[in-house]
Amino acid sequence: MQISAVSVGVEAETLNFCCNIVKYTAAEKLYAVCKICHCGRMTLVAEAEVYDENDTLLATVLTTLFVVETIKDIPRKW
């Protein structure tokens, strides 16, 4: 989630992290799809879904991050 924060030009620290595990897997490769829901001056809210190599939903994550610093070279919107 912090990497997603960097993609919108901020350095952020986690305030709250909520993870719901939907299903177990023995797969070796997993991937996550992250979406920034809110990008304010002081906070950032991001949600993600974790999938296995067969595109099976394994977990959902919701995170609130505190904006520590703005990264000048990275724009908020691409």
* Integer Cα distance of 50 and 35 in angstroms: 12
* Integer Cα distance of 49 and 65 in angstroms: 17
* Integer Cα distance of 75 and 73 in angstroms: 7
**pLDDT(76) > 80:** no
Where helices occur in the chain by DSSP H, the ranges are 2-6
* CA 76 centroid distance within chain: 15
**pLDDT(56) > 90:** yes
pLDDT at 78: 67
The arithmetic mean of pLDDT across residues 38-42, rounded, is 90
* Integer Cα distance of 41 and 59 in angstroms: 28
